[in-house]
Amino acid sequence: MVRVSERLVEEKVRDDEVLSALYHELENDEELQTSLRLCNDMVVKRLYYNDHGPMHARIVAGSALEILDILTKRGLKPVTSYHGLGYRDAAIVVLLGSYLHDIGNMIHREMHHITGTYIAAGILSRILPEYYPDMRTQLRIKQEVLHTILAHDDHVQSLSLEAGVVKLADGTDMAEGRARYPYTYGKSDIHAFSALAIKSVELKEGDEVPLVVEVDMVNEAGVFQVEEVYGKKIATSGLDRFVTVRLLIRGKYLKSYNIRG
């Protein structure tokens, strides 16, 4: 069982020289990091939404790489494999897609999954040639990364394993720290209280389904976050039949959800 946290991504890339280099390039890219901070200026300070900045990018990236590992271990195939590419290429798509998925928020929350593809395209054009000197492969990877960004929206159907993984991972960043900023600015609606009720999210390989997302809460307010927020992501992830959400209150089992699209 693996806990979703900011530190998880470091653990996931540590043993792969290419993934580690790519991750640290993202972490030190001035344009990207400034853009992610601007996302919070727009979304948190103006709209009082949950964190969508650098911390969220790291958390989702670590979660996405863990989910990719679990699902491919159980036989699910990344779309990159149909293009003659390997597992590392799928991991690169997932790492880039999860890290960049919310960058459109720097312009506005509305249609951020669309504007995000335009912003990310420029960043990818700078970064990818270093890892993919062949233009055709570079564009294939870029296409799949941009698809994960567009498809992370609740209403857009994911059409690849990689995109579904990023969408599932996005929803796993639901623990209390995510609501810290809006709550500080005075937001006190069900979204804030629900997120504050969730203490931890853990990922593990299941028996009946490949992926179990275990959510531990202090009270039942956290159920809203699962049913009304995460459930919508699962429904359009293309992976709904492969995931179960298991709810606990202070470590004691409450109930499970098998959400079908």
Residue pLDDT, tens place only, 63-82: 999 999 999 999 999 999 99
Q: Are residues 41 and 114 in the same domain?
A: yes
In terms of residue numbers, what domain contains 221?
176-257
* Residue 205 β-bridge partners: 211
Tell me the C-alpha distance between 6 and 62, whole Å: 7
Q: Are residues 112 and 182 in the same domain?
A: no
Q: Are residues 93 and 202 in the same domain?
A: no
Q: Are residues 168 and 180 in the same domain?
A: no
Out of 172, 198, 217, a domain closes at 172
Q: Are residues 10 and 137 in the same domain?
A: yes
Tell me the C-alpha distance between 237 and 243, whole Å: 10
Tell me the C-alpha distance between 126 and 129, whole Å: 7
What digits encode the pLDDT tens for the residues 195-220? 788 999 999 999 999 999 999 999 88
pTM of the model: 0.94
Residue 209, number of CB atoms within 10 A of its CB: 16
What digits encode the pLDDT tens for the residues 138-185? 999 999 999 999 999 999 999 999 999 999 999 999 887 665 555 455
Q: How confident is the model at residue 98, as a pLDDT?
A: 98
**Mean pLDDT of the residues in the chain:** 92
Q: Are residues 185 and 107 in the same domain?
A: no
Which of 146, 151, 147 has the alpha carbon at shortest distance from 167? 151
CATH of the domain at 77: 1.10.3210
Q: Are residues 103 and 90 in the same domain?
A: yes
Q: How many domains does the chain have?
A: 2
Out of 172, 190, 214, a domain closes at 172
